[in-house]
Structure 1
Amino acid sequence: MTLAADLLLLAIDPQRRQLRVSERLDYALMGADLVELALARRVVMEGDRVLVLDARPTGDRLLDEALASIAAKDRPPRARAWVQAVRKGLRSDYLGVLTEQRAIRRTPRPFLRFFTVTDLVVLEPGRQAGIKARIDAVASGAAMDDPRGRALAGLAHAAGLSTVLYPGTANRALRKRLQQATRGERVGADVLRATAAISDLAVDATTRAVTDSAMRAATDAAVHAAMSAAVDAAHSAGHSSHSGGGHGGGGHH
């Protein structure tokens, strides 16, 4: 189960059977794919660019598409630019994943005589609650050492879910922690460049600990860069939508 699929499931309102957020969601899904590739040590950051470490298939079709799109560039893309270039059908693809996993059911129904709307029926409320619980743990400060949990929390913020999950002034501190999850320690470019070559090195027992530490630092940098890119892209989309831009892709047809 990928971060993108979990994020999309969390975004569904089980009562209204529609997505709770839309405008920024696609950028968060792109960011989620980038985070997954970073956690799998398939990509690393070199400055603000995404460098492919291992272009072999991951076994997940959508992540493989994401990885291939990065590898196909003439030069490593900037994280923000890659996140902003939302892949066609991305949201629909992940709704398909959730459908295949039997986490949701998509049910079309008439809407205003000439239109249809697709209801997103949550079939696994326990899974949705579990995703929310992981974010709660980060928001409460209890799970900041869980990289996937922090990534999920940061992506929820990027998607605009903070105010949905934690509304009102009483929850301001919880929303702040979700925002902070998108920020990490800055890692020197020299460390990242050295880490990018790790796959080509024969690591012996005396250097393994140092190498593993560098890889963890590089992975963390990539994760936070991906989440920051998703946040930046979402904010940019928010400004452009007020001028008539923005992305579609919801359940209405």
Structure 2
Amino acid sequence: MTTPQDLFLVSLDVPGEHPVEQGDLSLALAGAELVDLLGARALTLDGERIVPGPALTTGERMLDEAGAALERREPYETVEDWLWRRGRGLAAAYRDVLERAGQLTGRRRHWLSRRSGDSTPADTPARQHAADRWWSREPVLAGLAAALGIESERPAEAPADEAVVTVLAAVGDAVNELEAVRTRRRIENAAFDNIWRAP
């Protein structure tokens, strides 16, 4: 299993302070892909810019798609730009992959499907693997989950790799930026409603 797949399963299995928003999860999944591609040496970071390495085949379709989507012309893409570009619709794509692999069962959360209801990970080795990473407080998975508001009472250590720390920080910043946009829209919509309600 890949880090994005583990993160998706943890987002369903571990309760957070609030339900995980689709957009937030999509950004975090894009960050998780970068971390796995860093680990596979498919890319390096030059500051915040993603420098692609040789094209690799990992055997994981979504990860291979991510590697193929890397910008290969200078000045290269920043981590932030990658999160917003690659993250578009990524949560739904991972949902579909995991469903086809039999990793999700039952009813789904409101944004995970055309139907309403809750989704739960199937009781599979993949789910156990994700849970083991989560409960061992593996730094990358814990850092990505924390950006989504999923935290444990037992803190995780910071990742040792500076490039991974850069990716995790960018994910946190992007999720905060998206929440600020949501808040601004709620305020604007409330103000608009008040104008129409005014006598």
Q: Given the superposition, is the C-alpha separation of residues 108 and 27 from structure 1 closer, same or farther in structure 2, using an over 3 Å criterion?
A: closer
Contact 1:45/1:221 (8 A) holds in 2: no
Partner of 2:189: none
Q: Given the superposition, is the C-alpha separation of residues 127 and 56 from structure 1 closer, same or farther in structure 2, using an over 3 Å criterion?
A: closer
Partner of 2:20: 21
Partner of 1:124: 123
Q: How far 1:73 sits from its partner (Å)?
A: 4.8
Q: How far 1:36 sits from its partner (Å)?
A: 0.6
Structure 2 counterpart of 1:155, from 144, 152, 157: 144
Contact 1:43/1:53 (8 A) holds in 2: yes
User: CA–CA distance in 1 between the matches of 2:82 and 2:56?
Assistant: 19
Partner of 1:192: none
Partner of 1:225: 166
User: CA–CA distance in 2 between the matches of 1:47 and 1:136?
Assistant: 31
2:65 equivalent to 1:65: yes
CA displacement 1:172-200 (0-9 Å, x = unmatched): xx3xx34x63x65xxxxxxxxxxxxxxxx
Contact 1:43/1:222 (8 A) holds in 2: no
User: CA–CA distance in 1 between the matches of 2:125 and 2:65?
Assistant: 29
Q: What amino acid is aligned across from residue 2 of structure 1 in structure 2? A: T
Contact 1:24/1:160 (8 A) holds in 2: no
Q: How far 1:29 sits from its partner (Å)?
A: 0.5
User: CA–CA distance in 1 between the matches of 2:171 and 2:61?
Assistant: 21
CA displacement 1:112-145 (0-9 Å, x = unmatched): xxx832542432166435423423322xxxxxxx
The TM-score with structure 2 as length reference comes to 0.76
The TM-score with structure 1 as length reference comes to 0.61
Matches within 5 A, 1:96-245: 96-105=96-105, 107=107, 116-117=115-116, 119-124=118-123, 127-138=126-137, 149-162=138-151, 166=152, 171=153, 174=154, 177-178=155-156, 181=158, 184=160, 220-244=161-185
Identical columns (%) = 28
**Structure possessing the higher relative contact order (Cα contacts under 8 Å, 6 or more residues apart):** 1
User: CA–CA distance in 1 between the matches of 2:162 and 2:13?
Assistant: 32
CA displacement 1:84-124 (0-9 Å, x = unmatched): 22444311211122113211136579xxxxx8325424321
Q: How far 1:70 sits from its partner (Å)?
A: 1.6
The structure with the larger Rg is: 1
Q: How far 1:21 sits from its partner (Å)?
A: 1.0
Q: Which has the higher strand share?
A: 1
Contact 2:26/2:88 (8 A) holds in 1: no
The answer for unaligned runs of 5 or more in structure 2 is 187-199
SS of the residue aligned with 1:227?
Answer: helix
Q: How far 1:151 sits from its partner (Å)?
A: 1.1
Partner of 1:216: none
State how many pairs are aligned: 180
The answer for unaligned runs of 5 or more in structure 1 is 110-114, 139-148, 185-219, 246-253
Matches within 5 A, 1:30-109: 30-105=30-105, 107=107
Contact 1:34/1:226 (8 A) holds in 2: yes
User: CA–CA distance in 2 between the matches of 1:237 and 1:21?
Assistant: 13
